[in-house]
Amino acid sequence: MKKIYYSLFLSLLLLLTSCGGDDQETQTTSDKDAEELTPVSFVLDWTPNTNHTGIYVAKANGYFEEQGLDVEIMLPGEVGANQLIASGKADFGVSYQEGLTQARAEGLPLVSIAAVMQHNTAGYASPVEKDITEPKDLEGKIYGGNGSTLEEAMMGSIMKQNDADIDKVDFLTIGDSDFFTAVKRDVDFSLVYYGWTGIEAELRDEELNIIYLADFSDKLDFYTPILATSEDMIDADPETVEAFVHAATQGYEYTIENPDEAASILLDQEPDLDPDLVKKSQKWLAPKYQDDAAQWGIQEKERWEDFVEFMVENKIIDEAVDAEKAFTNEFLPEK
């Protein structure tokens, strides 16, 4: 009898040890998997909005994790995304072709790795009662902007083509002031992205007139926004760059196909955003991310060269930057 009880005791002990060993092994494997994820920082260009949805989707749906990445999404603060990326304080971030071109001219080795939006959706917006419907109507009006020479050059180019005089436009620096407040109190028009401010106007039942930059000049149909990194990051860790771009591509492709679900994902992670604005903006932007391009994120050398030429012609930069070094399509998934 003692032998029987002893045998049962040993069997039970082995069983418990075996189960405990499995738990320990599972826990160790799980911890190991977490440790193997490469930490990556991604900085936004502004407050979270629907330009960024693909990144939030890639994070929430596990696309980054599948690529072996643990991505932290950061706000830019006062320094700005370009400076954070160039200094190595952020691995990736949101930029603009105009800003990245100017940064490279100043010696910051930034590289565009994907176009978030295939065409420029920015335009000069004004309340309909201002009766600004064409470049000539800008004469005698007050423009609210950020005070850059590029702003004046873009407007001047459009006005010159339409026999209008930019010297008859008053420029007022309003920075990040609320558009709707500014056009009621301080200015007549400002440059906005319809996918956010224009949609907000619809929700407010405030009708706007929009003069789109891309409608008047191919050179102003630049890529805005874009995803960017640094030359140092590409040289030191191209595998991580490729992994990031592949996951981001999945995120934006999901957003294109599922705008409602993608909007909900953004709102889950950024609950302070206006749900109506996010959902309506997402539907408007969904077909515009890729638009007429062969795939999401692709960029054309000619459009980079055209915009560099525009910036040199208008003395925004002293000499041309090499367009082929300013952007790359090499990390996009093969289609």
Q: Is residue 12 part of a domain?
A: no
Q: What is the pLDDT of residue 335?
A: 80
Q: Are residues 194 and 53 in the same domain?
A: no
The pairing of beta strand 189-193 with beta strand 226-230: unpaired
What CATH number is associated with residue 136? 3.40.190.10
- Given a cut of 90, is residue 6 above it in pLDDT? no
Q: What is the pLDDT of residue 9?
A: 39
Q: Are residues 99 and 130 in the same domain?
A: no
Structural domain harbouring 69: 38-118+223-326
CA distance 40 to 92: 8
- Given a cut of 50, is residue 5 above it in pLDDT? no
Cite the DSSP H helix spans in 171-322: 179-185, 199-204, 231-236, 238-257, 259-269, 275-285, 301-313
CA distance 237 to 68: 13
Say what percent of the chain tops pLDDT 90: 87
End residue of a domain, out of 220, 242, 273: 220
Q: Are residues 114 and 231 in the same domain?
A: yes
Model pLDDT for residues 209-229, shown as the tens digit of each residue? 999 999 999 999 999 999 999
Q: How much is the pTM?
A: 0.88
- Phi then psi dihedrals of residue 272, to 5 deg: -80, -10
CA distance 191 to 120: 12
Model pLDDT for residues 142-182, shown as the tens digit of each residue? 999 999 999 999 999 999 999 999 999 999 999 889 999 99
- Given a cut of 50, is residue 53 above it in pLDDT? yes
CA distance 331 to 241: 7
Question: Which region, left, alpha or beta, applies to residue 175 given φ > 0 means left and ψ of -120 to 50 means alpha?
Answer: left
Model pLDDT for residues 114-144, shown as the tens digit of each residue? 999 999 999 999 999 999 999 999 999 999 9
Q: Which stretches of 119-225 are assigned E, i.e. beta strand? A: 122-127, 142-145, 170-173, 189-193, 208-212
